[in-house]
Amino acid sequence: MIKLKITIGYKEGVEDPEGLAVKNSLKLLNFGNVNSVKVLKVYEILIEDTEDAKKEAEEMCDRLLVNPVIHDYRIEMERV
């Protein structure tokens, strides 16, 4: 089996309201050193071991997981 780890976040320049809310909350808790917070979403997907695993992961992003208008993504693969 292959474990796909797909990490999705906002593109540079796209505002992240959730990240901003977390940052403000951390500041309120006196974490004064916090400069910025980005919230990322991670999908861990187990698929059958094939040579096309990376391509399949990219298709998953294209067709469902990512909206290319605002998102960037990163794919990592691990044999398990």
Q: How far is the CB of 63 from other proteins (least distance, A)?
A: 6
Q: Does 76 bind other proteins (CB under 8 A)?
A: no
Which range of residues in 26-34, 50-58, 67-75 is near other proteins by CB under 8 A?
Answer: 67-75
- Near other proteins by CB under 8 A: residue from 15, 48, 49, 51: 15
Q: Under rule CB under 8 A, which residues in 16-55 are in contact with other proteins?
A: 17-18, 20-21
Burial 5-41 (b: 16+ CB within 10 A, else e): ebebbbeeeeebeebeebbeeeeeeeeeeeeebeeee
Q: How far is the CB of 36 from other proteins (least distance, A)?
A: 15
DSSP output for 5-39? EEEEEEPTT---HHHHHHHHHHHHTT-TT------
Q: Does 13 bind other proteins (CB under 8 A)?
A: yes
